[in-house]
Amino acid sequence: MSVPRFWRELDTRYNLIGSYCKITDTYHYPRRSFNPEAGRESIGSMEDYQFKGTGTVVTPTVVHQAQTGYEMFGPYCMAIIELDEGPRITSQIVDCRPDTVKSGMRVKSVFRKLGEDSESGILHYGTKFILFGNDIDDELDEDSIDDVEL
């Protein structure tokens, strides 16, 4: 990815900054300067908002054939997560066995490396999520990762 393309989204990626719409009292991620539900009225009424980073898993899936750049993680958990303020986000859930993640589990955001352009290219950082506050064994068990098969 080109440097400017990544650079202009640093704060929204690193700090989970999105938008709050004063017209409809709703939150949006990623940042939007226009709220599709409020239309033209929302222009100028969208404020930056830093999400708390807590949310709930809507639907997880265990990815066995990894996305380009994610080969080292496979198998890994991708999920649609609903942030507590309302908007949904697609993100990786890390630091746990991928098959332990279920709908309804609580998650919180962590700052992680997303990838790199090449050995000498820019590094991409951003937000991923970890399980927290769930009544299960969240601990990563390196030895058991190879056994994952649903």
Q: Footprint of another protein on this chain (CB under 8 A)?
A: 1, 9, 30, 58-59, 61-70, 73, 76, 78-80, 88-92, 99, 103, 114-115, 124, 126, 149-150
Q: Of the two residues 69 and 133, which places its CB atom closer to another protein in the complex?
A: 69
* CA–CA distance, 98 with 78 (Å, rounded to integer): 8
Direct distance between the N- and C-terminal alpha carbons of the chain, in angstroms, rounded to an integer: 34
Q: Is 141 left (phi over 0), alpha (psi -120 to 50) or beta?
A: beta
CB of 56 vs another protein, minimal distance in Å = 13
* CA–CA distance, 97 with 74 (Å, rounded to integer): 11
CB of 13 vs another protein, minimal distance in Å = 9
Torsion of CA 129, 54, 144, 146, to 10 degrees: -30
* Angle at the Cα of 146 from the Cα atoms of 145 and 150, rounded to 5 degrees: 85
Q: Of the two residues 23 and 66, which places its CB atom closer to another protein in the complex?
A: 66
CB of 54 vs another protein, minimal distance in Å = 17
Query: What is the greatest pairwise CA distance in the chain?
Result: 55
CB of 61 vs another protein, minimal distance in Å = 4
CB of 132 vs another protein, minimal distance in Å = 19
